[in-house]
A and B are shown apart, each in its own frame.
Chain A
Amino acid sequence: VLAHDAVRLPCGLMLPTTSAELPLSSLAVPSLDEPSLALPSPDTSAEFLVGDGAVSWTSPAGPVVVRAVREWAPARPGRGEVAASALAAARTRLNGAGLNGAALAGADPGIDSQLLAGLAAAAGDREASVAAAACLLGNGPGLTPSGDDVLAGFLAGAAAFGLDASELREAIAVLAPAGTTALSAALLWHAARGECIDEVAAVAAVLSGHRRIGAEQIGRAVSRLRSVGHTSGAALALGLVTAAESALLATTGRAA
């Protein structure tokens, strides 16, 4: 359940109110594991019903029912070819922030440059895809482990830049239900359909150079994505940039 001003997770049920108008935390059930989480996590004993077009639970303030009244379409990255200069600017931005495979490993010990290199090789390759999915899925702490975010970023990038990720999608579809949290699996399902949060679509758009965009704007888009979640935004950015680099390599490889 998302406030109107929240990051629009594709699987979210969005409210017309902003977090200032109706703080979701006021309706949350306290959870030991995730004190910062706005909603009850599955391991609390709170009764928590999803179905019949509604989500309902009992908050300290009383029963809460959120009823779905319409569908909203999650963001999808526009399709285009990677602009090498834009990609370089984005990569510089990530490196400049000390953000690369090694740095992320500081926060999430499971993710390193080698894993990212493996992912980069996954396009159109069944074995590499299964290996990358197996290594990254569920890798990291929290409800959306960083490994999953990297995969989701990569899938969004693949959809945006025309990279063949069918093998990877298939591997994730098989492995995700048992390999990671339910929330993360749902987000990967959306990612496989080319659906992502707005912040990912915005970076994909600047990378494909649909519009002539300066380095400053690229920087802004990357920063906005990085500020999503604790490490999620950074991991999504890494996955997306990895896909962009693979796509660019494939194009220049063909040209050569």
Chain B
Amino acid sequence: MSAEHVEARAGAYADSVTLMRVSADVQRADGVQAALIAMATELNLDLLQAMGFAAPPDAGPNHLLIAVRASDDTALSNAVAAVSTALSARPAAGHSFANHGAEQAPAPRTTAAAVRASGPGLALISVPGRYAFGEAMDALDAGCDVMIFSDNMPVEQEIMLKEIATQRDLIVMGPDCGTAIVGGVGLGFSHTLAAGPVGLVAASGTGAQQVLCLLDCAGAGVSAALGVGGRDLSAAVGGRSARAALAALDADPGTELIIVVSKPPAADVATELREFAAGLATPVQFALVAPGEPDLTAATETAVRALGLAVPPWPRWLPQPAPESLADGPGRGDRGTPAAGALRGLFAGGTLCDEAMVIASDRLGPIWSNIPLRPELRLSPRAPVPAAPVVGTPVVGTPVVGATVPGPTATGHAMIDFGDDELTAGRAHPMIDQSLRLERLAAEAADPAVSVVLLDVVLGHGAHPDPAAELGPAIAAARASGGVAVVVSLIGATSDPQGRDRQAAALQAAGAHVFASNAAAARFACDLIEGGNDHPASGGSRGVSPRGGVSGGSRGVSPVGDLLRREPHIISSGLRLLAEAAERQAARVTQVDWAPPMAGVEYDLVPVLSDPRRNAANALAAARMLAARALLVDVVPARTALDLQPGEFLHAGPPVSWDRAAGPLRGALMGAAVFEGIADSPEAAAEFAGRGAFALAPCHSRRAVGPMAGVISPSMWLFVLEDPATGQRTYCSLNEGLGKVLRYGAFSPDVLDRLTWMSRVLGPLLAAAVRKHGPVDVTAILAQMVQMGDEAHNRNRSGTLMLLRDLLPSMVESGIASGDVARAAAFIGGNDHFFLNLAMPACKLALDAARDIPGSTMVVAMARNGTDFGIQVSGTGQEWFTAPALTPQGLFLGGYGPDDASPDIGDSAITETAGLGGFAMAAAPAIAALVGGTAADAIATTRRMYEITMAEHPLYRVPALEFRGTPVGIDVTLVARTGILPQINTGMAGKVAGTGQVGAGLVTPPPEVFPAALRALAKAARPSETKSEECH
């Protein structure tokens, strides 16, 4: 009997390498029969079903699948608990030593947040390729160089990023940049090498690794290796990063010789690059993997000689008993005789595969491959290998006619690159996960046509921790089963964590012929098949000499930032493995706690993030918002201030019609109609409204805001706030207090009596007081409140008292009857929320200043009407992006419960939009208790909001955060990327009209509004200013 657990966990994310490790660990646990821990991508769901599990409903790529089958319930629950423990090890901010002083901040969720927290550095991006653009733009926006390890990034995105980097004097290494060495730190698949005079520009990862390891062997140190990505030298990308890398190395006084390692570039690009290189003060040597070019080993030998060093015999380890001594020519096949038959190359490194094909096709004829030298030799990596083409004897460089159809007689030579995208989708690179290669090795060994198998084993940081432990037994088994000879090119440096010599010894002991030079390995394999005796030849050397003496030569373009001058600080998003490797090399590493963005936003993010107007537009929006000052200048009836006519009503949130209006809004409209005298009773008002007799419009459409239902009718008195610098004004009604009040949808006689008193007594009294006192500085009160325990949404106690302090003398001196003044003072002082109706229009004044800036992604309004939640964005004008409002969670008054609450309602989320309310939660620990949280939750809430905002408020400073300004300026792109939703503190209204307040709690916008806004921003985006190159 066995027990099963299948779960799709929402909101959990871990990178694929971490998940594979966890899966493997769980599979090994006692009693576990099968386990799959993976993100619920289509591929993994298929895999789940293939393993006999039922796929959980609604599982999508943002869910974490945990499926375990165990022998009994105990083993099962142990295994599931172990998974949770393994996955809960989240990275902390900064370095592991960094536990001094202040409380640990949460790990940053984006590269932008990481740079903000721990300073600039080199962004190392290994998130899935379709999400990499956002992280890369973050880095470029922060003035950081970028290495994109991820593959599968669309080429248009690569061009955009590189163009932007060029404009800003930065470099984008990649995408698909597997190798780099910066400041002595090996990044990606790389090695720790001695410092020295050679600089590498690498459009090929494993090719660069081969050259680096041979240089290491020859005792030549390396100043830096800058990968540029496999497509950089294509016609489309035009070598943008290669030029930047060459310029950077040329400007580096530590670099005396530059080697460019690449597959053959596009012809025009090659010419241009050679011209560019010729203009540099530092000599540049090209190592191109192509027919007619010296192989990588020969090119390295040329470089070594140019540095004045001796070329050593490249190491080789031949199986014991070796027929020849170490440095002599190649040995024979395993059975002591050359074996005619097919050669099969099974490669992890694409360039190593290429190099082997160039060498072998010269000797053995055409080689089938999934990355063929010529298109007609294309072979599906999963199809059987066809016989050699039959027409003529193919010569390298001439097209082959009549290539045969793949057939059952598999006799041709073939080489497979297991690192090609087609074979890595949904799994780790073969340098980490060797399983496909091991399977194929067994299959090839069993094929009687095959006589020699050629493999590469790449060591170094990021690679499998002990490849020989898996390959050794597989090689021994392959030789035993089929009698094939196995030849290995072992790419490693002496200091590699796997131990190059130990790996070599293990492979040798398994019977493999092992070579440090891939070219030598390929030639040896050919020798075995041909029975020939060619010695690995060194390629021709070209006259290159390292830079020496004074060279005042012209140095082309201005060099890339500080990449080669600074001690490296790596900001890593994606694979934890890569960050750990850099940490082991004593690099300063900041790990981004990255997770996939909201579903489906990645395509809209690209045009929005690359909109050339965005940075300036957002900076302008933020500057205008933060510069705004709000003064209370007057108190007047709405009919005067807004020219509101009888029958016209303003309400909170985005537009809504009576038939869709929620209970509290209907209740407030009914009460307001009776208050205005246009209906005799609430019921009559409802009937009028149902017939369409009332004109409804959002407060926001008239520069006003209203809390909860937010209903404003002509007779209600409004606060008038003005920015003295711009003369702009905003408006808000007077606060009625808590409990049964109109804004919560109550309309009983006492509610209406209070409204009448407010318009007959309170409004005129406040107007007289304000006119006598002069303008009241609302912004200044807000700044003080935040340091007095208020967050200005659900707690306004100190603000209310400060307002009263300012106005009371003028109220007393207004000449109005002392009884009225006393009642008004008691009413204001007894209503902790009185100041909310000043905080809200002050926030609106600031946000209105940030409106209508094309390209800006800042949210300028969040508002709800009890039915819909809507946002407006600076760059998209008056358009509302709406979705059904959520219902808050929190505490309830008296006997009310969750079933009594109306969905979220009110314009008061304008406070959160302006950096107060939930965003200033850390300033108001008392409110955290009211809404069911702890003080620590309050601080964590504010900290989380920094992830989705573009600025910190210079006036609203939070004591508990060492007087850091509150997070402000919600960025639609950051919400979409992180999935972190703005946190709103709010009151809760009863859902039945007439009920009033039922509680208070926390709520967020419905997530859908942000992708909708992003879509509109994408449509309005201006294309990035990329120089189009006519290369198609």
Interface residues of B in 78-128 (CB under 8 A from A): 94-95, 97-98, 100-101
Asked whether A210 lies within 8 Å of B97 as measured between CB atoms, the reply is no
Indicate if B171 sits at the interface (CB-CB under 8 A): no
Asked whether A80 lies within 8 Å of B552 as measured between CB atoms, the reply is yes
Indicate if A20 sits at the interface (CB-CB under 8 A): yes
Alpha-carbon separation in the docked complex, A69 to B569 (Å): 16
Indicate if A253 sits at the interface (CB-CB under 8 A): no
Interface residues of A in 210-226 (CB under 8 A from B): 210-211
Interface centre among B251, B567, B587, B589, by most chain A C-beta atoms within 10 angstroms, is: B567
Indicate if A52 sits at the interface (CB-CB under 8 A): no
Chain B residues within an 8 Å CB radius of A73 = 183-184, 195, 223, 254
Nearest B residue (CB) for A14: B567
Indicate if B409 sits at the interface (CB-CB under 8 A): no
Q: Identify which of B184, B555, B589 contacts A72 (C-beta below 8 A).
A: B184
Alpha-carbon separation in the docked complex, A56 to B550 (Å): 41
Chain B residues within an 8 Å CB radius of A22 = 97-98, 100
Asked whether B588 lies within 8 Å of A16 as measured between CB atoms, the reply is yes
Interface string of B172-203 (1 = CB under 8 A from A): 00000000000111000000101100000000
Number of A-B contacts (CB under 8 A): 75
| A93 vs chain B, min Cβ distance (A) | 22
Indicate if B405 sits at the interface (CB-CB under 8 A): no
Q: Given A70-B184, A79-B550, do A16 and B95 touch, yes or no (CB 8 Å)?
A: yes
Asked whether A4 lies within 8 Å of B98 as measured between CB atoms, the reply is no
Interface string of A2-22 (1 = CB under 8 A from B): 001000100000111110111
| B307 vs chain A, min Cβ distance (A) | 16
Indicate if A81 sits at the interface (CB-CB under 8 A): yes
Q: Given A21-B94, A70-B185, A162-B550, do A16 and B195 touch, yes or no (CB 8 Å)?
A: no
Q: Identify which of A71, A76, A80 contacts B184 (C-beta below 8 A).
A: A71
Indicate if A23 sits at the interface (CB-CB under 8 A): yes
Chain B residues within an 8 Å CB radius of A69 = 192, 584-586
Chain A residues within an 8 Å CB radius of B585 = 69-70
Asked whether A16 lies within 8 Å of B552 as measured between CB atoms, the reply is no
Indicate if A198 sits at the interface (CB-CB under 8 A): yes
Indicate if B583 sits at the interface (CB-CB under 8 A): yes
Chain A residues within an 8 Å CB radius of B101 = 20
Chain A residues within an 8 Å CB radius of B97 = 17, 21-22
Asked whether A17 lies within 8 Å of B552 as measured between CB atoms, the reply is no
Asked whether B253 lies within 8 Å of A78 as measured between CB atoms, the reply is yes
Indicate if B558 sits at the interface (CB-CB under 8 A): yes
Asked whether A20 lies within 8 Å of B195 as measured between CB atoms, the reply is no
Indicate if A101 sits at the interface (CB-CB under 8 A): no
Asked whether B586 lies within 8 Å of A16 as measured between CB atoms, the reply is yes
Asked whether B254 lies within 8 Å of A76 as measured between CB atoms, the reply is yes
Indicate if B542 sits at the interface (CB-CB under 8 A): no
Indicate if A75 sits at the interface (CB-CB under 8 A): yes
Alpha-carbon separation in the docked complex, A22 to B586 (Å): 14
| A142 vs chain B, min Cβ distance (A) | 25
Nearest B residue (CB) for A202: B565
Indicate if B551 sits at the interface (CB-CB under 8 A): yes
Q: Identify which of A8, A21, A78, A80 contacts B567 (C-beta below 8 A).
A: A8
Q: Mostly helix, strand, loop or mixed at chain A's interface? A: loop
Indicate if A140 sits at the interface (CB-CB under 8 A): no
Chain B interface category by residue count: 20 to 34
Alpha-carbon separation in the docked complex, A71 to B195 (Å): 6
Indicate if A77 sits at the interface (CB-CB under 8 A): yes
| B195 vs chain A, min Cβ distance (A) | 4
Chain A residues within an 8 Å CB radius of B551 = 79
Asked whether A21 lies within 8 Å of B100 as measured between CB atoms, the reply is yes
Alpha-carbon separation in the docked complex, A102 to B931 (Å): 69
| A216 vs chain B, min Cβ distance (A) | 18
Interface string of A173-193 (1 = CB under 8 A from B): 000000000000000000000
Chain A residues within an 8 Å CB radius of B184 = 70-73
Asked whether B100 lies within 8 Å of A72 as measured between CB atoms, the reply is no
| B122 vs chain A, min Cβ distance (A) | 14
Interface string of B961-1002 (1 = CB under 8 A from A): 000000000000000000000000000000000000000000
Nearest A residue (CB) for B548: A79
Residue tally, chain A, CB below 8 Å to B: 29
Alpha-carbon separation in the docked complex, A77 to B253 (Å): 6
Alpha-carbon separation in the docked complex, A79 to B251 (Å): 10
Alpha-carbon separation in the docked complex, A200 to B367 (Å): 56
Asked whether B565 lies within 8 Å of A75 as measured between CB atoms, the reply is yes
Asked whether B95 lies within 8 Å of A70 as measured between CB atoms, the reply is no
Chain B residues within an 8 Å CB radius of A162 = 549-550
Asked whether A70 lies within 8 Å of B586 as measured between CB atoms, the reply is yes
Q: Given A22-B100, A70-B586, do A4 and B567 touch, yes or no (CB 8 Å)?
A: yes
Asked whether B565 lies within 8 Å of A17 as measured between CB atoms, the reply is no
Chain A residues within an 8 Å CB radius of B194 = 71
Chain A residues within an 8 Å CB radius of B588 = 4, 16-18
Q: Identify which of A21, A75, A80 contacts B95 (C-beta below 8 A).
A: A21
Alpha-carbon separation in the docked complex, A76 to B565 (Å): 9
Chain B residues within an 8 Å CB radius of A198 = 565
Chain B residues within an 8 Å CB radius of A80 = 550, 552
| A201 vs chain B, min Cβ distance (A) | 8
Interface residues of B in 927-970 (CB under 8 A from A): none
Asked whether B100 lies within 8 Å of A23 as measured between CB atoms, the reply is yes
| B81 vs chain A, min Cβ distance (A) | 33
Asked whether A16 lies within 8 Å of B558 as measured between CB atoms, the reply is no
Q: Given A4-B567, A71-B194, A211-B558, do A16 and B589 touch, yes or no (CB 8 Å)?
A: yes
Alpha-carbon separation in the docked complex, A15 to B587 (Å): 8
| B44 vs chain A, min Cβ distance (A) | 35
Asked whether B254 lies within 8 Å of A16 as measured between CB atoms, the reply is no
Interface residues of B in 832-856 (CB under 8 A from A): none
Alpha-carbon separation in the docked complex, A73 to B223 (Å): 7
Chain A residues within an 8 Å CB radius of B583 = 16
Nearest B residue (CB) for A81: B552
Alpha-carbon separation in the docked complex, A117 to B569 (Å): 42
Alpha-carbon separation in the docked complex, A70 to B834 (Å): 63
Chain A residues within an 8 Å CB radius of B98 = 17, 21-22
Asked whether A17 lies within 8 Å of B192 as measured between CB atoms, the reply is no
| B382 vs chain A, min Cβ distance (A) | 41
Interface residues of B in 200-251 (CB under 8 A from A): 221, 223, 251
Asked whether A70 lies within 8 Å of B253 as measured between CB atoms, the reply is no
| A77 vs chain B, min Cβ distance (A) | 6
Nearest B residue (CB) for A195: B254
Asked whether B192 lies within 8 Å of A70 as measured between CB atoms, the reply is yes
Interface residues of B in 563-604 (CB under 8 A from A): 565, 567, 569, 583-589
Asked whether A72 lies within 8 Å of B195 as measured between CB atoms, the reply is yes
Nearest B residue (CB) for A160: B253
| B501 vs chain A, min Cβ distance (A) | 19
| A195 vs chain B, min Cβ distance (A) | 9
Asked whether B253 lies within 8 Å of A20 as measured between CB atoms, the reply is no
Nearest B residue (CB) for A22: B97
Interface centre among B221, B552, B586, by most chain A C-beta atoms within 10 angstroms, is: B586
Alpha-carbon separation in the docked complex, A201 to B185 (Å): 22
| B735 vs chain A, min Cβ distance (A) | 45
Interface centre among A4, A21, A70, A80, by most chain B C-beta atoms within 10 angstroms, is: A70
Nearest A residue (CB) for B555: A210
Interface string of A50-82 (1 = CB under 8 A from B): 000000000000000000011111011111110
List 10 A-B pairs, minimum CB-CB distance, nearest first. A162-B550, A21-B98, A76-B253, A73-B195, A16-B588, A71-B195, A70-B184, A78-B253, A22-B97, A69-B586
B residues neighboring A (CB under 8 Å): 94-95, 97-98, 100-101, 183-185, 192, 194-195, 221, 223, 251, 253-254, 549-552, 555, 558, 565, 567, 569, 583-589
List, sorted by A's number, 25 A–B pairs whose CB atoms are closer than 8 Å: A4-B567, A8-B567, A14-B586, A15-B586, A16-B583, A16-B586, A16-B588, A16-B589, A18-B588, A21-B100, A22-B100, A70-B184, A70-B185, A70-B585, A73-B254, A75-B253, A76-B253, A77-B253, A78-B251, A79-B552, A80-B550, A81-B550, A201-B253, A201-B565, A210-B555
Q: A20-B100, A73-B254, A211-B558 are in contact. List 8 more A-B contacts (CB 8 A).
A: A15-B586, A16-B587, A21-B97, A70-B586, A79-B550, A80-B550, A81-B550, A210-B555
